[in-house]
């Protein structure tokens, strides 16, 4: 599986040829890329060939593991990893004992017997690391492979805010290894608050694609976060969610001020901001917390800004009307370092 082979709200994978073309034309100085809100990691993956190095950041634990799996430099033993893959796919899941995953997610997000296997694999990967059977990069590859594999059979509409009720869960879990990205480019990986990190790094181009609505990614992908951290918290509610953590200010009414603070502190030559026109969405949870006018005003204070737009039928997991949906790209040539 490749880095783009997952369902993720707001993924820019299908838009990357268009976005990349704009960056090539409007950002001539391209030594270091700063992917401020890394998400799936596809932006960094797609732009690595036109930059000397990259910095990628996201505050989700699952995304950090995925970045380390795809972009890490520690050597991996592919034969060893294939042995794990064969072992996991040969296990008779019916015979497995119940575990944390089957107790909480079985018959909900996954088939019951699949959930037993998912829980068994997660525990086995942890044990292999503790016994030093695998190194940290191999651990990340196996764990990322588990996340990608379970995402394919999850009983959801593309995220984990809820599971589909009243229908038979048809998809079967099959463990498949990811394909790490082979590159000699340096990729620095962070899991930090973007506004804090922006004050301590410098780059040529900052790619900024923050969450714009009230949907918190830490809640949207809580199942992946729980499986990644493996601290086995007590889960509550219909969707079996852990206690709240990693709640983003970009999903609250303070989003404009938070965005302004980020832009002011970016130490770069160019800022690339992506935005979609869901400010007037009928769904309150989909409605943007930052308006188009606010984005323009904040970026114009930083430098000369151009706007590009494209009609695009985005991934929509709910019932929100996205007629005449447009993706927009802002390119700001920085003139005022302090915003």
pLDDT higher than threshold 80 for residue 185:
yes
Between CA 228 and CA 216 the distance in angstroms is 18
Q: Tokens at residue 15, please?
A: 């838009």
* Confidence at residue 320, expressed as pLDDT on a 0 to 100 scale: 47
- Contact assessment for residue 27 and residue 272, using Cβ atoms and an 8 Å cutoff: yes
Between CA 270 and CA 255 the distance in angstroms is 22
- Contact assessment for residue 264 and residue 208, using Cβ atoms and an 8 Å cutoff: no
User: What residues are paired with 106 via a beta bridge?
Assistant: 110
Q: Tokens at residue 273, please?
A: 């901001």
* Confidence at residue 285, expressed as pLDDT on a 0 to 100 scale: 43
Mean pLDDT of 260-272: 97
CA dist 298 → 261, 273, 304 (Å): 9, 11, 11
* Confidence at residue 216, expressed as pLDDT on a 0 to 100 scale: 83
* Confidence at residue 237, expressed as pLDDT on a 0 to 100 scale: 95
Between CA 328 and CA 91 the distance in angstroms is 47
* Confidence at residue 314, expressed as pLDDT on a 0 to 100 scale: 54
190 pLDDT tier (thresholds 50, 70, 90): very high
Helix (H, G, I), strand (E, B) or coil at 233: coil
Q: Tokens at residue 65, please?
A: 């593991």
pLDDT higher than threshold 80 for residue 277:
no
pLDDT tens string 80-104:
999 999 999 999 999 999 999 999 9
pLDDT tens string 142-172:
999 999 999 999 999 989 999 999 999 988 9
Q: Which domains are delineated in the chain? A: 1-60+185-214+252-339 (3.40.50.150), 73-179+218-241 (no CATH)
| Other beta carbons within 10 Å of 229 | 14
Mean pLDDT of 178-207: 97
pLDDT higher than threshold 70 for residue 174:
yes
* Confidence at residue 322, expressed as pLDDT on a 0 to 100 scale: 47
What are the percentages of helix, strand and coil residues in the chain, rounded to 5? 40, 15, 45
313 pLDDT tier (thresholds 50, 70, 90): low
- Contact assessment for residue 245 and residue 178, using Cβ atoms and an 8 Å cutoff: no
pLDDT tens string 17-28:
999 999 999 999
* Confidence at residue 171, expressed as pLDDT on a 0 to 100 scale: 85
Within 106-189, residue ranges assigned H as helices are 112-130, 136-153
pLDDT tens string 28-68:
999 999 999 999 999 999 999 999 999 999 999 999 999 99
């Amino acid at each position: 599986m490749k880095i783009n082979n997952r369902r993720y709200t707001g993924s820019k994978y299908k838009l990357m040829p268009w976005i990349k073309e704009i960056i090539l034309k409007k950002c001539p100085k391209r030594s270091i890329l700063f992917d401020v809100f890394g998400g799936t990691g596809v932006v960094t993956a797609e732009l690595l060939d036109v930059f000397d190095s990259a910095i990628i950041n996201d505050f989700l634990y699952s995304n950090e593991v995925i970045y380390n799996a795809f972009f890490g430099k520690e050597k991996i033993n592919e034969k060893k990893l294939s042995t794990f893959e064969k072992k996991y796919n040969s296990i008779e899941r019916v015979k497995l004992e119940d575990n944390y995953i089957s107790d909480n997610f079985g018959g909900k997000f996954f088939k019951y017997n699949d959930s037993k296997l998912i829980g068994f694999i997660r525990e086995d990967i942890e044990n292999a690391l503790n016994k030093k059977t695998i190194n940290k990069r191999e651990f990340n590859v196996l764990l990322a492979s588990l996340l990608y594999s379970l995402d394919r059979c999850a009983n959801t509409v593309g995220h984990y805010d809820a599971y589909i009720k009243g229908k038979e869960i048809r998809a079967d879990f099959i463990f498949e290894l990811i394909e790490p990205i082979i590159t000699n480019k340096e990729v620095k990986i962070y899991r930090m608050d973007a506004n804090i990190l922006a004050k301590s790094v410098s780059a040529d181009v900052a790619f900024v694609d923050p969450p714009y609505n009230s949907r918190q990614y830490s809640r949207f992908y809580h199942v992946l976060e729980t499986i990644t951290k493996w601290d086995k918290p007590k889960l509550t509610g219909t969707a079996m969610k852990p206690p709240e953590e990693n709640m983003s200010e970009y999903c609250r009414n303070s989003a404009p001020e938070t965005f302004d603070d980020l832009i002011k502190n970016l130490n770069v030559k160019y800022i690339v901001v992506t935005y979609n026109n869901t400010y007037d969405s009928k769904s309150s949870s989909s409605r943007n917390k930052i308006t188009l006018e606010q984005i323009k005003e904040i970026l114009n204070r930083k430098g000369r800004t151009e706007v590009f737009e494209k009609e695009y039928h985005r991934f929509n997991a709910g019932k929100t009307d996205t007629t005449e949906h447009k993706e927009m790209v802002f390119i700001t040539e920085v003139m005022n370092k302090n915003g």
